[in-house]
Amino acid sequence: MDSKYIEETFGNYLKTPNTNHALLINGSWGSGKTYFWKNNLAAKCTENGFKSVYLSLNGVNKIEDLKYQFLIKIVPYLNILDSKKGSIGKSLIATLSSAFGNVNINDILKEIEIDSERLSTYVVCFDDLERCLISKAEILGFINNYVEHKNLKVMILSDESKIDEDDNYNNIKEKVIGRVLTYKNNLSKTLPFLFKKYETSNSGFYNFLNGQKSFILELLENYQEDNLRKVSFYLELLNGLYPIIKDFDDYIKEVVMFTLIFTIEFKTGNLTSNDYKDYKGLDALNWTYVVFNFERPADNNLHLFNATEQEPKEIDEIEEFYLRYLVEKINDYFFYTSIYAYILTGYLDKEKLHEELKSRYPEVIPEETIAFRKLINYSFRHLSSDEFKSLFTNVYQYTQEGKYSIYDYLQISAFLKYFSENKLIPQSKEEIQLAVIKGIEISKQRKETNKKLYDSIFRFKKEDDNPVIYNLVKDTHDEIEAEKIHEKVNFLLLALKENNEEEIDEIFKGDKLRKDLFQNLQPSELLKTLTLTTNEVLNKFTINLEDKYNFTNVKEFLSEDALFLIPFNDLLIEKLDDKDEYTINEFLLKELSAKTKEICEKLT
C-alpha cells in the first residue's frame, strides 16, 4: 500500500471520535515502518491535536514491564522519574521503590487508573510486536483494555511474517485490530531523507549521492531491496569510498553497483567477515565466464541457442549470483578486492583501491572485441541483415588474423558453425574450421593464457564442442604454459648464476604454492649451479626453500615436488659423503641437505 493511503487512513482514524479498535501496520524488518511513524504519522498526530507516544516491545518479557513503560509515558508525575526515557529495568524500579518507601511498586501501579479523558489526547504506537517475548494474545489483550474500554487510539507496528499465528492470536487480533495496513517503503521518497544526513557534515558526498540517486534507486528496485538498515549501511560504505572514487568518474557507477551487491550479500548472511580473502570465485565472473559456463542463462542474448534438449546442469553459487544481480549488467561488473574486504571487515586499503581504479584506465575496447561481442555475445537475431553481414565479415577476418584469445575461438567456432548450418553465411563448416585453426596458431604466438578461464572452460566438455578445436585450444594452452614454466626455471638458474638475491626472493615469493618451480629442472643442473654461487646466495636459496614448504598442510598442495627434491638430496649427500673437513660452501650445502631432507619428510 502506498504510504499516502496509509496516512489518509490514519488521518481518518484520528478524526473519528470514540474509536474502539487499533490499526496495525505490517511490513518486513528494516522496511522503514518506525521511520515512517516518527517522521510522518507522529507529525500527523500533532497536526490533529494529539500527543504521540512511542513504545518498543522488543525484548519485553513481562506484562508488568509493559505497563511500567506505558504509565511512565502517560502519567506526568511518573514520567519525571524516567531517567532513560522509556527504558524499564532494575534501576527504574529501584528509583520508584525509593520514592514510595517500602510500598510494593506493583501495588502502586495497579492502583493507578487513567481516565478516558486523559487518554483521549494520546496516540500510542507499539512497535516490534513480533519481537515481544510475551505471548501475542496477552499483549493484544493488554492493548484491547485501553482501546475498547478507554477509546485510546493505538497504532501497532509489526512484521506479521515473523509471528507464529494460532487461533488465540487470530481471534483476539480480529477483536483488537480494526484494519491491517501493509507498508511498502517508497524509496524514491525515503532515500532523500537518508541522504540529508550528510548535507551539513559532508556536502560533497551529499551532492554526489544526489547525482547518483536515479542509478541507486534503479539498482535497489532491480534487486528488490528496501531494507533501510541495509541501505543506511550501504551509504556509510559509499561515504568511506567517496574521497577516492570521486576522481574516477568513468568507474563510479561500477563501484556504486559493486558496493551495493556485496552489501546485500553481507547483510543477508551469504558472506561473513571471515570471507574477506575468499572471493568464492566471484572475482573470475565476467561476460566470457558466463558464455562458457552457464548453460541456461536468464539472458538468451549471451548464448547461441534459445533452448536445449539436454538435461540442464545444476546451478552453482556463482550462477545464482549472476542470475540474482548481473543478468543485464555483466559488462558493468568488475571485482574490487579492496572494496570486498572493506565491506566485510570495515577496513579500507585506500592505496590498493586507488591502484585498482587506476588499472581500469584506459579501457579502449578494440574493434575486433566490439564486433565479437555484438555478433557472438549478443543476440544476432536482433541485428539487421546488413549489420549481421558486416559484423560477420569483420569477425571472420579478425578470426583468421589471430586477433582473439585462444579461448575465444571455442565460441567463435560454435557460432560460425551454427551460422553455416543455417545458411546465414556462405562459408562451409570445413572452411570455418580451417580459419579458426589458422587464427589459433597466430594467437598462440602472443603466449597469453588465463588459468582461471581455462579451468572454468575445461571443467566439463559440452556436447556441441568441435573436438578438433576443443583439443587444439586445450593443447595450445598447455604448450604455452609449459614454455612459461621452462622460462621460469631458466630465470631461477640465471638468478643463481648471476648471484641476484632480489630476483631469487621474487621467484620464490611470487607464488608460494607454485608447483612448476622444479618441473623442467634436472637435480644435477641445480646442484652444479649452486656450487658456483656465492655463499651468501647459497644461504639465501636455503632460507627461501625452507620458507616455501613451511606450512602445515604442505603435502596436500606440493607433494609432487618430492619427485625432484629426493634425488636432489641424494646428490647432495653423495657429494658431501666421507668429508673430513668442509669448506664454508660445503657446510652450507650440508645445511641445505638437512633442510631438504626435512621438506621431503613433510611431502611424503
- Asked whether residue 233 falls in the same domain as residue 113, the answer is no
DSSP 8-state secondary structure symbol assigned to residue 315: P
- 590: helix, coil or strand? helix
In a domain, 216, yes or no: yes
pLDDT at 89: 46
pLDDT at 187: 85
- 519: helix, coil or strand? coil
Domain boundary among 336, 358, 380: 358
- Asked whether residue 72 falls in the same domain as residue 167, the answer is yes
Looking at residue 116, its amino acid is S
Residue 78 confidence (pLDDT) above 50: no
Cell of 45: 498526530
- Asked whether residue 332 falls in the same domain as residue 410, the answer is no
pLDDT at 295: 58
Q: Compute the distance between CA of residue 286 and CA of residue 129 in angstroms, rounded to an integer.
A: 44
Higher-confidence residue: 484 or 10?
10
In a domain, 279, yes or no: yes
Domain boundary among 184, 211, 240: 184
Q: How many domains does the chain have?
A: 4
- Asked whether residue 206 falls in the same domain as residue 109, the answer is no
Q: Compute the distance between CA of residue 130 and CA of residue 23 in angstroms, rounded to an integer.
A: 15
In a domain, 492, yes or no: no
Domain boundary among 358, 380, 401: 358
Q: Is 69 exposed, middle or buried (0-12, 13-18, 19+ CB in 10 A)?
A: buried
pLDDT at 289: 82
- Asked whether residue 180 falls in the same domain as residue 193, the answer is no
267 contacts 233 by C-beta, under 8 angstroms: yes
- Asked whether residue 121 falls in the same domain as residue 78, the answer is yes
Report the CATH number at residue 15: 3.40.50.300
In a domain, 500, yes or no: no
- Asked whether residue 169 falls in the same domain as residue 194, the answer is no
- Asked whether residue 538 falls in the same domain as residue 426, the answer is no
Structural domain span for residue 526: 512-603
In a domain, 494, yes or no: no
pLDDT at 463: 52
- List, for residues 458-510, the tens digit of each pLDDT value: 765 555 568 899 999 999 998 888 777 666 666 778 888 888 888 888 877 76
Scanning the structure block, which residue is given the C-alpha cell 561515504? 239
- Sequence-distant (6+) residues with CB within 8 A of 63 are 134, 138, 139, 142
Cell of 441: 596458431
- Asked whether residue 280 falls in the same domain as residue 153, the answer is no
pLDDT at 20: 92
Residue 555 confidence (pLDDT) above 90: no
Q: pLDDT-derived band of residue 168, with 50, 70 and 90 as boundaries?
A: confident
SS3 content of the chain, % helix, strand, coil (to 5): 65, 5, 30
In a domain, 281, yes or no: yes
Find, among 413, 387, 386, the residue nearest to 399 by Cα: 413
- Looking at 92-106, 256-270, 358-372, which range is the least confident one? 92-106
* pTM value > 0.75: no
- Asked whether residue 243 falls in the same domain as residue 316, the answer is yes
Long-range contacts formed by 296-304: CB under 8 A, 24+ apart: 297/322, 297/323, 297/327, 298/323, 298/327, 299/327, 299/328, 300/379, 301/377, 301/378, 301/379, 301/382, 302/330, 302/377, 302/378, 304/414, 304/415, 304/418
pLDDT at 82: 42
- Asked whether residue 179 falls in the same domain as residue 193, the answer is no
- Asked whether residue 291 falls in the same domain as residue 431, the answer is no
Q: Compute the distance between CA of residue 524 and CA of residue 567 in angstroms, rounded to an integer.
A: 9
- Please count the other Cβ atoms lying within 10 Å of the Cβ belonging to residue 216: 22
Q: pLDDT-derived band of residue 104, with 50, 70 and 90 as boundaries?
A: low
- Sequence-distant (6+) residues with CB within 8 A of 434 are none
In this prediction, residues 165-183 reach a mean pLDDT of 86
- Sequence-distant (6+) residues with CB within 8 A of 67 are 109, 142
- List, for residues 178-208, the tens digit of each pLDDT value: 999 998 878 888 899 899 999 999 999 999 9
